[in-house]
Amino acid sequence: MGLPYDQAVDMWSFGCILSELVTGRPLFPAVDEHELLELIRIRIGMPPEEMIKNGRKRKYFFNHQMQLMPSKKSRVPQGLPDRSDTIRRALYSEGDDDFVDFIEVSCNCWPRHFELTRKVHCSRPAGERFWTQYE
C-alpha cells in the first residue's frame, strides 16, 4: 500500500511465517499484491481508512469509494464479506489452542495498528503468556 514499515510488521510477518512452518500452508497464498489484500481483508478485515488515505499506492489498490479493487488473477470468490474466513479457521488442523491464539494475536490486525490490537488479545491465555514478558 506504500506505507512506512515499523517493528509491528516484523511481528506480523513472524506470525505468518510461523504459521506456514507449522501447517505447511501460507495464511495468505496470493498470486499478486491485489489478491494478497483481498485475502487479508477476508481474514482480518479492511484496512483502517487512514491507512488507505495515507498509502502512496492507494489508487492502485482502492477505488474512489475506498473499496478494494480485485486482482485480475484473483482466485478469491467475489462477494465474500470482511472476516468471513478467519485465521482460526485457516488453522483448522492445529489442535494446539495456544499456538492458534498466538498466531491470532500476531496476525489478526493490520500491522500499523498492532500495538492497539494486541492489548485486546492479551486477555486470552497464549497472548497473556507471550506479551507480559515484554511489558
**pLDDT tens-digit series, residues 13-37:** 888 898 888 888 888 898 888 898 8
Using pLDDT thresholds of 50, 70 and 90, give the confidence band for residue 62. Answer: very high
Cα–Cα dist 133/9, whole Å:
19
Q: How far is CA 117 from CA 2, 12, 47, 64, 77, in A?
A: 22, 12, 13, 28, 28
Q: Kindly list the domain boundaries of the chain, sorted by start residue.
A: 7-132
Instruction: Answer yes or no: is pLDDT of 118 > 60.
Output: no
Q: How far is CA 77 from the centre of its chain?
A: 18
pTM more than 0.85 = no
Cα–Cα dist 74/94, whole Å:
27
Q: Does domain 7-132 have CATH number 1.10.3720.10?
A: no
Instruction: Answer yes or no: is pLDDT of 94 > 50.
Output: yes
